[in-house]
Structure 1
Amino acid sequence: MISKGRTGNTKFVKQMNREGILHQLRQEPRLSRAELAAKTRLSRPCVSALVEEMIEEGLIQEVGTGESKGGRKPILLEYNVQAYAVVGAVFEGSELEMAVADMKGELIAQVHTRLKQPVDGESALEALEATLGRLLETSGIDRDRVIGIGVGLPGITRRLRGTVSYAPSTGWMDLPVGKEIEERLNLPVVLDNDVNMMTQGEYFGGAGSGVSSLVYMYVGTGIGAGIIIDKQLYRGSNEASGEIGYMRIGDSPGRRKEEFGVFEKNFSVAGIYRKAESLGLQVDPGASILEQLIKLEEEGSPLAGTLLNEVYHGWASGIANTVSVLDPEMLILSGEMVHLNEAGLIRIRELLSDWVPVVPEIRLAALHERAGLFGAVHSVLETHSSSIMAYKS
């Protein structure tokens, strides 16, 4: 927002003034031109000129009249959330979820791609490019309306640098993945850890709404956590916070740096499948391992019951180590953990009660695979929307 007396580069001043108007309409829908002038501290002729320009571009639309204060009824303006779109994408193991959303962050269309195995960096990028094309065709949204894409990736990501410094599942090690994606898709990219994306999705629109601090724990191909402290996502000095898969929980043979962490090697989905198969249990790798073990135990399998208890003990150990340090208001369980039944939740709560001084409120994730997509979309809106749209002139 630039006041009337401010000087500077004409294009920059215009861009900032446009951004100020758009910001006000995003915060408070249905304002008149006079109200926008008062809130932005811009002159009425300036506001009128910029508003007319943005109406022609489709950014703003007139939506009726307001109450008169002595003269003609003012025409009310509204930010057009359909003017542009944002895309969110999240990689998890052999899966790629992608969605397109409007400028309020509401999902318009969603597609799913199963990645060819084994997954490597090149095949992941090819899948991203092909899935974006399919998504836009499905949704009917023109590519030039997309202002950016948020991409959630497994491993340690450097969000500001746009690099992935450590991702064993894709082979990305200290690579400028953000730049590569931007060149492939010709779109601005916001890169982040996949669990961080999921955490923000649940925080802004799921089970974590309304709390100031939480830990989001995800069990899938790997194990990770997202951390919200005082309503802010905590990333750590090297943007590696929440990499709890490297905790020393479970069998701990020697490992090389490029391999998965001890905790996730033992108690990720893949780790639990290996344990089940070593016990001779008949399990389907295409279905939830937790649901299968619960069913086998209910049918009288003592081996399944023993393995379930080991899994609950392992997961509770990771939770205890995390919450005893952070003392969050809430713990959200996600990924494979959403399949916990009441008996499993009670068992985990019992273990935590024995191990830590204060047990936070525990909830199962509400958004499931949509959590990462909501988080990815939100990251683009937060980073790019105002500045990009303000330059559309």
Structure 2
Amino acid sequence: MIRRKLNSTRVISALRKKRCLSKKEIAYICRLSLPTVDSIIRLFLNKGIVKEAGYETSSGGRRPMLYQFNDKIKYAIGVDFEIPELTVLITDLSGSPVNKSASHLPVEAGADRAIQFVGEQIGNLVKNTQLRNEDVVGIGFGAPAFIRNGEITISGKNLPPWRNVPVKRMLEEMTGVPVSVDNDVNLMTLSESHHMKYQDEVLVYLTLRRGTRGDIRMGGGVLLKGEVFHGAHGNAGTLRHAYMNLSKKVNAEEAIEEAIADRDPQEMVEKLKNHLVIPMINMISLFDPDRAVINAGILGESEPLFIQECEEELKRHLPGVFNWDLRLEPARDREFPCAKGAALSILQALFKNPDVFFEKL
């Protein structure tokens, strides 16, 4: 039974990587006998896990049937609990977005009401996508918070002081679907690496996100060989006191626009860099990454200048340590990366464990 599960997992892995394969190709890639592959494919066809994808081109003789993984058999959900914004995303099993919703969180009503609102938005999106909760393998939830056992604690200037909010338990009770909770920037890091197909041993991701009181805050995430590094308690890479108030505007987007209008962009970027470069230096010094990615998209046209200024500052502080082999790049995955990463975290766990995979599918 165990060997059959492992063989079946190898077949699924091959089909997910190559998209369309014949039985002979599957047998070669997975180092399995043709009768074993034939048995697995017949089982998967009956369950709807794989589907026929037409015939392979051939110069003569009988053309072999091609098979592909059915990535629409189940779905994953990703939640970006950004505060004050909420994004809920449904993806197929390849991680490709299927449907999404965006709304404003009722933060002022308290933690319980905010999480209840998330559950309602998930339910509405599932219904609008014409799915059932049974079609969803899991919900990934990302928040600007410290995570412990599925609970979130939010601690930071201009953020609601919520402690030990049982997000995992609350959403599982509301939806009947397994929930995984993680820091928002960890999930953005995972999405960037996945969609850009990076193969780094160590990747550091730094992002600027809008606060709730006209401020900008910076978060960090770390991937080791493509998987999020959580540390001993789930909070590795979390940056403390990495924020900056731009103005008295409550809305951070308006605050950024006001700051650019009121002063030279170079001056604003210089001020931001001076506030945030030390946490960057600490992250890069601690984790010695192959690549550091910066997402400063909220700065609009000033983003390239900000990244350039940060790179020059890092070179001044770290030349002898790295000989500057480090690649510092702008983020390229810009569309709701936290929500996508949250869904991807569910899929990563699903395909990593054969028992979980066969239980869900």
Taking structure 2 as the reference length, what is the TM-score of the superposition? 0.81
Secondary structure in structure 1 of the residue aligned to 2:46: helix
Q: CA RMSD in A?
A: 3.2
Counterpart CA distance in 1 for 2:23 and 2:192 is: 36
Secondary structure in structure 1 of the residue aligned to 2:333: coil
Alignment of 1:135-284 (within 5 A): 135-158=125-148, 161-164=149-152, 166-168=153-155, 169=159, 172-174=162-164, 176-206=166-196, 209-220=198-209, 221=211, 222-244=217-239, 246=240, 262-264=241-243, 267=244, 272-273=245-246, 276-277=247-248, 283=249
CA 1:334/1:341 → structure 2, altered by over 3 Å: closer, same or farther?
Answer: closer
User: Which residue does 1:356 correspond to in 2?
Assistant: 318
User: Which residue does 1:60 correspond to in 2?
Assistant: 50
User: Which residue does 2:214 correspond to in 1?
Assistant: none
CA 1:380/1:342 → structure 2, altered by over 3 Å: closer, same or farther?
Answer: closer
Conserved? CA contact 1:121–1:171, under 8 Å: no
Counterpart CA distance in 1 for 2:305 and 2:207 is: 20
Q: Partner letter of residue 276 of structure 2?
A: W
CA 1:71/1:241 → structure 2, altered by over 3 Å: closer, same or farther?
Answer: same
- In the alignment of these two chains, the number of paired residues is 345
Secondary structure in structure 2 of the residue aligned to 1:61: strand
- Any gaps of 5 or more consecutive residues in structure 1? 1-9, 247-261, 278-282, 299-303
Shift of 1:29: 3.0
Conserved? CA contact 1:335–1:368, under 8 Å: no
Is residue 330 from structure 1 mapped to residue 309 from structure 2 by the alignment? Answer: no
**Segment drifting more, 338-347 vs 130-139:** 338-347
Q: Partner letter of residue 105 of structure 1?
A: G
Conserved? CA contact 2:143–2:183, under 8 Å: yes
Q: Partner letter of residue 220 of structure 2?
A: A
Shift of 1:333: 2.2
Give the structure with higher Rg (CA): 1
Is residue 297 from structure 1 mapped to residue 285 from structure 2 by the alignment? Answer: no
Superposed CA deviations along residues 292-343 of structure 1, whole A, max 9, x for unmatched, are 3122214xxxxx9766543321122322233233333333222565533444
Taking structure 1 as the reference length, what is the TM-score of the superposition? 0.75
Is residue 390 from structure 1 mapped to residue 361 from structure 2 by the alignment? Answer: no
Superposed CA deviations along residues 264-308 of structure 1, whole A, max 9, x for unmatched, are 3xx2xxxx14xx23xxxxx5725253343122214xxxxx97665
User: Which residue does 2:346 correspond to in 1?
Assistant: 380
User: Which residue does 2:13 correspond to in 1?
Assistant: 23
CA 1:311/1:82 → structure 2, altered by over 3 Å: closer, same or farther?
Answer: same
Counterpart CA distance in 2 for 1:345 and 1:111 is: 30
Shift of 1:16: 4.9
Superposed CA deviations along residues 189-215 of structure 1, whole A, max 9, x for unmatched, are 222111100111112214x83544332
User: Which residue does 1:111 correspond to in 2?
Assistant: 101
Superposed CA deviations along residues 47-71 of structure 1, whole A, max 9, x for unmatched, are 4454334323322111222367997
Of residues 106, 110, 115 in structure 2, which corresponds to 1:120? 110
Counterpart CA distance in 2 for 1:353 and 1:40 is: 46
**Segment drifting more, 311-320 vs 46-55:** 46-55
Secondary structure in structure 2 of the residue aligned to 1:118: helix
Counterpart CA distance in 1 for 2:151 and 2:286 is: 28
Shift of 1:132: 1.1
